[in-house]
């Protein structure tokens, strides 16, 4: 991509960013009200409830839809704004009351959707019914908070909705603040539904049907998404940024060049080497924050030989070149999740490091014990949408596994297809990131290790003892039984590290590089950009 075509394609407001001429007041205002974002990959779906929606798709959904409630923010010592896990406030709901058996939400009476239609309790019920019925990831996410039945969502009047609890669960209310339970324009969706597609998933894949702070006005998949501010939004302070231009620029070198020339305002998926150099240069502002409950891991499909053998999985765990990955791929911008001292006690916390370290002799011995003295052949897959980290990481793993006889062919899966391919459970060996939206150990393990989970239990791991520990921790948390909770959390962590269906590598950092005249970055559990708080001077 050359600079002239980039500026030309972003329109007059974006073009003003790098022009050396003196600005008129109107040009200066347009320039300050437009934010240009460049990233490695973009959304494959604008609806978080869509089939196979990728992580960039979460960003589109977050900014275009309201939820009933959201989190308060706090400012850290370095100036970063960080969401408060345990402090919730109304978003579309102007007020809410949580009782022992239900929660009641009063909607803002002046809230409207992007097309001007009023938001009512029937839209909220339809949207929540959709989330627990549509299946796949959205429905499983709602079940994590014991939200599973349409009968739980009761219309009290046009602007009041009640949610009845099926069980005592501390995750129920926080689960209403994640991305999935977005409130949609039910009438617009119904007009675009079909008998084969009753929830209008095809329509919302390419069109926003919400009332959030922004709306998509143009989307060219793989190239660009353009958002404009919803001038009638009432669920929070009116955003300062009027227009967002999100450009998909696969080349990390081009993204960095666009930032350093001032042709782009923000990028957050550059290689760590670039972030380290940019931070050292001082030309741009760089914020680094550990992923909430997040882990980059090597996963193995435990239903497929030879990874159905725990000793093979342990051999792989000892053959991972952990420190090389930290140094050569991450440049120290991550927290190691390996190499804990042999006598270190298990903590009631997640994430925490396991006790494996690179030991090729142990790896080779375990592989021999497992019946593979000469190794075997397999494929190692990764998401090409995040190739900046995934590709060099996989090359290092490939080289290291070769030393114990495991020959791997690297499989680069296009980002738009990654979630679909991962959920087929056909990949024998792969790397991926999972970050828990609700920052509790039992929530992470419910997603990643519970046998009933067909979405993010990407290793197809089934263990009745593991399920019992996870369910026990959830019940103990709801009952306030700290001793049982501690025991069960330690139990599922120990079992995960003993049977290693997935090998934690590190807790990633979300690194965001911005022009120094851009402020208002907020770190959220979903790790994507919230456009509402950005200010550009």
* Burial of residue 283 (number of CB atoms within 10 Å: 0-12, 13-18, 19+): middle
Give Cα 318 to chain centroid, integer Å. 28
Predicted confidence (pLDDT) per residue in 232-252, tens digit:
999 999 999 999 999 999 999
pLDDT band at 381 (very low <50, low <70, confident <90, very high): very high
| Percentage of the residues of the chain whose pLDDT score is greater than 90 | 85
183 and 123 Cβ atoms separated by less than 8 Å: yes
Q: Average the pLDDT over 165-177 and give the result.
A: 95
Residue 46 has pLDDT above 90, yes or no: yes
Give dist(CA 219, CA 223) in Å, integer. 8
Predicted confidence (pLDDT) per residue in 183-225, tens digit:
999 999 999 999 999 999 999 999 999 999 999 999 999 999 9
Give dist(CA 36, CA 161) in Å, integer. 38
Q: Which of 36, 129, 149, 117 is nearest to 536 (CA)?
A: 36
SS3 assignment, position 138: helix
Give me the helices (H) in 80-157, please.
Answer: 121-133, 136-143
What pLDDT, on a 0 to 100 scale, did the predictor assign at position 29? Answer: 64
Predicted confidence (pLDDT) per residue in 324-346, tens digit:
999 999 998 899 999 999 999 99
Q: Which of 271, 316, 272 is nearest to 297 (CA)?
A: 316
173 and 440 Cβ atoms separated by less than 8 Å: no
Residue 305 has pLDDT above 60, yes or no: yes
Residue 426 has pLDDT above 90, yes or no: yes
What pLDDT, on a 0 to 100 scale, did the predictor assign at position 3? Answer: 40
Residue 35 tokens read as: 């934010």
What pLDDT, on a 0 to 100 scale, did the predictor assign at position 19? Answer: 34
Question: How would you label 234-249 residue by residue, b for 16+ Cβ within 10 Å and e otherwise?
Answer: bbbeebbbbbbbbbbb
Predicted confidence (pLDDT) per residue in 56-95, tens digit:
999 999 999 999 999 999 998 877 899 999 999 999 999 9
What pLDDT, on a 0 to 100 scale, did the predictor assign at position 16? Answer: 35
What pLDDT, on a 0 to 100 scale, did the predictor assign at position 20? Answer: 35
Q: Which of 331, 246, 299, 312 is nearest to 6 (CA)?
A: 246
pLDDT band at 27 (very low <50, low <70, confident <90, very high): low
Q: Average the pLDDT over 396-415 and give the result.
A: 97
Predicted confidence (pLDDT) per residue in 255-304, tens digit:
999 999 999 999 988 888 899 899 999 999 999 888 889 999 999 999 99
pLDDT band at 25 (very low <50, low <70, confident <90, very high): low
Residue 15 has pLDDT above 50, yes or no: no
Mean of per-residue pLDDT scores for the chain = 92
Residue with tokens 């039945």: 149
What pLDDT, on a 0 to 100 scale, did the predictor assign at position 301? Answer: 97
Domains of the chain in start order, with CATH, are 3-265+515-536 (3.40.190.10), 294-509 (3.10.105.10)
pTM, whole model, 2 decimals? 0.84
Q: Average the pLDDT over 116-124 and give the result.
A: 98
Residue 399 tokens read as: 């080289």
- CB-based contacts of 198, cutoff 8 Å, min separation 6: none
């Amino acid at each position: 991509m050359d600079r002239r075509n980039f500026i030309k394609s972003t329109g007059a407001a974006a073009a003003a960013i790098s022009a050396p001429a003196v600005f008129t007041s109107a040009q200066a205002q347009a320039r300050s009200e437009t934010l240009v974002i460049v990233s490695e990959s973009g959304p494959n779906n604008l609806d978080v409830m869509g089939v196979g929606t990728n992580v960039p798709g979460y960003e589109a959904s977050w900014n275009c839809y309201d939820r009933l409630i959201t989190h308060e923010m706090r400012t850290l010592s370095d100036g970063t704004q960080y969401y408060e896990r345990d402090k919730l406030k109304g978003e579309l709901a102007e007020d809410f009351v949580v009782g022992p058996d239900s929660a009641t939400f009063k909607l803002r009476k002046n809230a409207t959707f992007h097309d001007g239609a009023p938001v009512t309790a029937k839209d909220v019920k339809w949207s929540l019914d959709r989330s627990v019925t549509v299946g796949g990831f959205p429905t499983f996410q709602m079940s994590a908070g014991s939200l599973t039945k349409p009968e739980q969502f009761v219309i009290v009047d046009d602007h009041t909705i009640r949610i009845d609890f099926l069980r005592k669960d501390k995750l129920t209310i926080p689960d209403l603040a994640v991305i999935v339970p977005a409130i949609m324009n039910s009438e617009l969706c119904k007009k675009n539904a079909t008998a084969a597609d009753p929830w209008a998933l095809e329509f919302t894949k390419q069109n926003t049907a919400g009332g959030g702070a922004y709306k998509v006005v143009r989307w060219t998949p793989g190239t660009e998404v353009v958002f404009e501010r919803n001038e009638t939004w009432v669920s929070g302070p009116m955003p300062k940024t009027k227009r967002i231009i999100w450009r998909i620029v696969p080349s990390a070198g081009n993204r960095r060049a666009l930032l350093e020339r001032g042709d782009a305002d923000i990028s957050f998926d550059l290689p760590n080497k670039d972030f380290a150099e940019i931070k050292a240069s001082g030309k741009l502002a760089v914020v680094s924050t550990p992923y909430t409950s997040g882990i980059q891991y090597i996963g193995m499909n435990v239903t497929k030989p030879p990874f159905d053998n725990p000793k093979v999985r342990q051999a792989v765990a000892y053959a991972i070149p952990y420190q090389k990955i930290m140094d050569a791929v991450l440049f120290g911008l991550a927290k190691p999740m390996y190499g804990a001292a042999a006598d270190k006690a298990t903590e009631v916390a997640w994430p925490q490091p396991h006790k494996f370290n690179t030991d090729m002799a142990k790896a080779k011995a375990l592989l021999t014990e497992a019946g593979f003295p000469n190794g075997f052949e397999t494929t190692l897959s990764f998401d090409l949408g995040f190739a900046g980290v995934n590709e060099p990481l996989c090359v290092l793993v490939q080289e290291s596994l070769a030393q114990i006889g495991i020959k791997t062919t690297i499989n680069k899966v296009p980002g738009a297809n990654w979630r679909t391919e991962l959920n087929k459970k056909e990949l024998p060996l792969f790397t991926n990131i999972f970050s828990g939206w609700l920052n509790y150990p039992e929530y992470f393990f419910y997603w990643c290790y519970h046998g009933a989970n067909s979405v993010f239990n990407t290793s197809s791991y089934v263990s009745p003892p593991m399920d019992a520990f996870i369910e026990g921790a959830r019940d103990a948390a709801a009952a306030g039984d700290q001793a049982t909770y501690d025991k069960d959390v330690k139990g599922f962590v120990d079992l995960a590290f003993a049977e290693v269906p997935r090998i934690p590598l590190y807790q990633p950092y979300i690194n965001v590089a911005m022009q120094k005249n851009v402020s208002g970055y907020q770190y959220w559990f979903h790790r994507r950009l919230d456009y509402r708080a950005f200010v550009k001077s």
